[in-house]
Amino acid sequence: MISDPAPPGAVPPSEGSPGTLGWQGIRDVMMDRIRARHYAPGALIPNEADLAAEFGCARATVNRALRELADAGFLDRRRKAGTRVIAEPRRKATLEIPLIRAAIEALGAAYSFRLLTREIAPPPPEVRMALRLEDDGPLLHVVTLHLADAVPHMVEDRWVVLATVPAIEAADLTRDNPNEWLVRNAPYSEGTMRCGAALAGAMASHLGCTAREAVLVVERATWLDGAPITLARQHYAPAYGLTLAL
């Protein structure tokens, strides 16, 4: 049962004698106190020196525990104003982005792909806008169909900025697919990703479904220190969804 405030004085204990808790143990005790409302939402918690004295440990150990709770969205740490319990925690979900090959093999299926299009062409306006390109010089345009046990899984329409990644022009993308080549050769420092839904439309023939089925669309754009690398739009087969960890 949760959500009943703890009675006054019922501090979740720090268990064991002082000094026996590592930073993980201190983190867990502090989390219990936040959940039990021993520290009220929005309230200041004791300072690090007082907590170190209570737990019988170094201040650095308390600091490590509080940093974890701040990263997890439960505490707001301000250098001078002290540390408060976040009243309305903003939680995060995390998506592991594996290679497409690894994602399909993790489903227990055999992976294969077909390079459907490979051309050097001027990017359409929406690609220029998404990658914030300043000129309309030609990019590498590749369309790849990824299959699981020879059944269409996802079709990827990708534009690659040759000025940033010139080596891809010489790569044999029928051997290393564009997704794998870029993961191995073009690390990014920042990017955006959008998950939405669309009717399969023109992608239906690739995905082996009808144009009127709903499919998940994932669009990713990446940069390396401000230099645009690639924009990829992925249409997944109907009924496929992405799973995130909370």
Closest CA to 15 of 6, 7, 24: 24
| Secondary structure element (H or E) that encloses residue 184, with its range | helix 178-185
Give min distance, CB of 194 to a second copy, in A: 5
Tell the smallest beta-carbon distance from residue 66 to a second copy (Å): 16
Strand partners, 216: 197
Least distance (Å) between residue 117 CB and a second copy: 22
The contact pattern for a second copy, residues 94-133, with x = CB under 8 A and - = no contact, is xxxxxx--x-------------------------------
Q: Cβ 82 to a second copy, closest distance in Å?
A: 21
Task: Give the interface segment with a second copy, choosing from 108-116, 131-139, 141-149, 237-245 (CB under 8 A).
Answer: 237-245
Q: Kindly state whether residue 58 participates in binding a second copy, applying the rule CB under 8 A.
A: no
Cα 159 to the chain's mean position, in Å? Answer: 21
Burial class (CB in 10 A: 0-12, 13-18, 19+), 243: exposed
What does the block give as tokens for 236?
A: 């997944």
For a second copy, give the closer residue by CB, 147 or 183: 183
| Residue whose CB is less far from a second copy, 17 or 106 | 106
Residue 173 binds a second copy, judged by CB under 8 A: no
The amino acid that residue 123 corresponds to is P
d(CA 154, CA 116): 12
How far is CA 190 from its chain centroid?
A: 11
177 binds a second copy (CB under 8 A): no
Site string for a second copy, 196-215 (x = CB under 8 A): xxxx------------xxxx
Q: Which one of the spans 10-18, 48-56, 107-115, 164-172 is the region binding a second copy (CB under 8 A)?
A: 164-172
Residue whose C-alpha is closest to residue 221's, from 157, 166, 175: 157
Residue 127 CB-density burial (10 A; 0-12 exposed, 13-18 middle, 19+ buried): buried
CA distance 101 to 142: 17
Q: Residues in the site for a second copy, rule: CB under 8 A?
A: 1-4, 34-35, 41, 74, 87-99, 102, 163-168, 180, 183-188, 190-199, 212-217, 220, 222, 224, 227, 236, 238-246
